[in-house]
Structure 1
Amino acid sequence: MEPGFLQLSTPSATHCHLHPLVMFQVLDHHTRRNDETGRVVGALLGSANADGSVAIRNSFPMNHDDVTHQDFGLFFNTMEALHQKVNAREHVVGWYTTTKSTDDDKDEVGEEDVALHSFFEEKVGEKHACVLVRVDCNIQRASKLGVSAFTSSNMSLRSDKTAPELVLGKCFSRVTCHIRAYEAERIGVDFITHNTIGQGGGEVLGTDLEKLESSMHKLMMMIDQSIQHVDDVLDGNVEADTKVGRALAETIAMVPEMSAAEFDTSFSKGLQDILMVQYLAAVTQAQISFWQKLQSMGA
């Protein structure tokens, strides 16, 4: 008779991409919780990519973290059905939890997470691994958000190759988690993080002209970096990278061909449109304020 052996399955998810919207939803859920609630949990929505990565784009909160409660499964099914009606491409890919107020700097999966992970793992299915994202919401004394992601593997025991598996438990392993944001999202994320995380803050979002000037400075900086990289490659100081070359070629191809005079005309028209919209918005705001003042005087 062959000796028994321990078998450990390997998770299929290699890494995950987390969008800032999910972070805001988690923090909002944590802020709105009851005072006696130590942590909050919720479901993560997204899709699995062909390379094994998982894109997390949305989430919805759960009413409590007691998976044995009779309303837990009913609440989950209702929320999942509502989200499927809005966006059928987003499926449940895992779940999130925040660290308890007594956990301090603890960043590991606890025993209370196993039952919840098993519940969401059943909902995710066998297409890809169920992702657990833990968020440290104690950001008052931190310089950045603490985010960690985990997947689980079943530890099973077999007496021989023909015997059924005896599942002993789950082994959680950390996976790489990157926060991915589109350029439009990054502007808002940078503004919020600069004003809320760490000491200081009080920065005021500038006017349209100030934002345009900032964008132009950023564009010039990126162009200078690209030119410097090309010069370094031509001089032999940096090894050529085909991916960077393709990205630069695609970027240049997207720029329309126009003369300096045509560019100045187009830029002036766009600037005049911005000023006109800003003027109309100011006039509308003044009329609304005047109407509200008249209403309050008449009352």
Structure 2
Amino acid sequence: MILLSISIFWLSVCVYPISADPHITVEAHVGSTALLPCSLSKDFSKTPHVRWRADNEFVFERSFDGTHEGPGYKGRVDVPEDELRKGNCSLVLKDVRITDHVFYRSFVMEHVEATNTNKIQEINRVQLNVYSQRVSAQVGSTAVLPCDWKHLSIQTPHVEWRIGDEIVFERLGKESFQGEGYEGRVDVPEEELLKGNCSLVLKNVSVTDETLYSSYILMTDTKKPVLVQNIKLSVRELSEERKDDSSAPSGEADGMNLLIIITVCIMCSVLLIFIAIFIWMKYRRSSS
């Protein structure tokens, strides 16, 4: 614990960003295992001291004296020691929860012999997007993104639907707000919201609507938003569906046309045979 306290102190004093890697986004389904990538710039002969944090919350730490797991992450996180020795500081996060939908940072702590002090270097930043359900819709249709706040204890529900920090729709009682590009296309009906149903109705779905949507309920007393649901919306092209739909009838039509042609050919052949027999019998009668 002393080492952990000292480490936290140094983390607040000196953090040197060394990674040139861009911001990384990882998606994971609730209940799955997520791998948050992290790579050291060099191999270490000894086990390096590495730490992962989520926003301002401690997540996981591995040092020469063992490992430490943050509150809410017990038994769910690890940076395998054998991988860490190879320079792979990726965090394995098991049993992903909706509350894991946060921003993560990884740090490595090195001992500097010249000054006999610890130096903390930021290695990577990862945004973990956690979704609990995937909804699929075709272009031009209406999609319903599910949401249920019955488990929350509030009297006047105040709901927000967002894409990242962008508000798509907001409702408090009869008052509502529709985000830019969603005017006339989104709604959470007031009567449904009062029943505990905060599902978002999205009309006239377009290809650009394909993304991750988050629903929040703002608590009445604190106005603090509580994440309720993350929904991944997948949009199918209408033209592709039409091609798929038209392929089956086309095949059936070709088969039907072939059957008609064969039937006509058989009937013509039978008719020609009868005509030939009639002409032959008439010829025999005339010659006798």
Q: Same fold (TM over 0.5)?
A: no
TM-score normalised per structure 2: 0.29
Q: Going by fraction, where is strand more abundant, 1 or 2? A: 2
Q: Going by fraction, where is helix more abundant, 1 or 2? A: 1
Higher radius of gyration, 1 or 2:
2
TM-score normalised per structure 1: 0.28
